Amino acid sequence: MKRSAICALALLLLISSLCGCTPKPAPAEGDFRVTDSAGRVVAVPSDPQSICVLCPFSGPIVVMLGFGEKITSFTNNAARSRLLLEICPALKNAVVVKNSGSVNAEEIMARGTDLIITNAGVYENETERAKIDAMGIPYVVIDYETMEDQLHAVRILGETLRQSEKAEAYISYFRSVTERAKSHPFSGRPKRLYHAVNEAVRTDAPGSYCADWIALTGAENVSVKSGKLTPEGDKAYTTLEQIYVWDPDLIICNEAQVDDYILSDPKWAGLACVQNGQVYQIPIGVTRWGHPTSFETPLALLWLMRLLYPDSFAVDLDQEIRSFYKTFFDFSVDDDRLNAIMEGTEMRDPKTEQKGE
């Protein structure tokens, strides 16, 4: 017996003894099968009653597909979303089983979980995958790097929960927005844009999800063009000195209060865009719009197009926002909530530490 199998068996016995329950059997032959992002063919329950979502992107999608009340455990990322909990109050009863560290297998099993939706980060971690395998609960892996990958991931989730029609409606809307952006008649020198992701000096790398959607706007994403970045895992960092070299026309920030930090910190004051007040907070709804784990990227795309081309890109963004949440969540956005989304400061607890300026 291989060492990994021995470890998995030992872990299984430990989990079972700790939570006082036994692993769930694999789904019966008649249960529905789906091919996940890892290419695995998974037999999933036809009507899951207790879902664990270990993929930050997937939580809102599961809610959108009508299974929010079946989520009994999830990630801290989803738990921090005030709007998501307002849309689906039942999530307040769900327990966080993964923050930034290890998956809490004991709690997942204690919740009677019959379906796990995880991301590639957990699946590709040998220790965490052995832990999930040991539980004997069917799990679906969701992964993506580009917008097309993401839409395919939505399709997989729709198939998993037998809600393909709802999934395809979202995919259709996303595609309609990208076509609106592509068809815009770009002219003149493109705006040079710097995108601060979570932290002031974390930004977009070539081939990243954010680089993908921002490219549709016709703006020149300065960090993508230069290649002068320091990778740290799946993140990319630059320096304030390099941002001065790039000298962007505008800065967009996807984490609340990072725009205030940049506008108020003296070290940034020499940038022309800072002097001109061209530093903007990207709206925040259920997620940070356009973030690598966001499903509200169509709204981020419309927002940025309107910002870049105020005189030529016609969009009633307020109406788009109201329609989006009503269509996909049956949630009515009032004026106060609309203002909060646009300001982005009351939607989730910030979790930002400024890095190495």
CATH topology of domain 190-343: Rossmann fold (3.40.50)
C-alpha closest to that of 210 among 201, 197, 229? 197
Token code pair at residue 148: 């097309």
Q: Residue-wise pLDDT tens for the chain (357 aa)? A: 444 444 444 444 444 444 444 444 444 444 789 999 999 999 999 999 999 999 999 999 999 999 999 999 999 888 889 999 999 999 999 999 987 678 999 999 999 999 999 999 999 999 999 999 999 999 999 999 999 999 999 999 999 999 999 999 999 999 999 999 999 998 888 999 999 999 999 999 999 999 999 999 999 999 998 768 999 988 999 999 999 999 999 999 999 999 999 999 999 999 999 999 999 999 999 999 999 999 999 999 999 999 999 999 999 999 999 999 999 999 999 999 999 999 988 888 655 344 334
Q: What is the pairing mode between strands 41-44 and 51-53?
A: unpaired
What is the structure's pLDDT at 99?
76
What is the structure's pLDDT at 24?
45
What is the structure's pLDDT at 349?
63
Residues 6+ apart with CB under 8 A from 85: 79, 91, 92
pTM: 0.88
Length in residues, the chain: 357
Equal CATH topology for 31-160 and 190-343: yes
Secondary structure of 138-173 in HEC code, one letter for each residue? CEEEECCCCHHHHHHHHHHHHHHCCCHHHHHHHHHH
What is the structure's pLDDT at 166?
98
C-alpha closest to that of 128 among 101, 99, 160, 94? 101
List the chain domain ranges.
31-160, 190-343
What is the structure's pLDDT at 190?
92
d(CA 71, CA 73): 6
Domain 31-160 falls under CATH 3.40.50.1980: yes
Token code pair at residue 76: 């801290």
What is the structure's pLDDT at 20?
42
d(CA 94, CA 102): 17
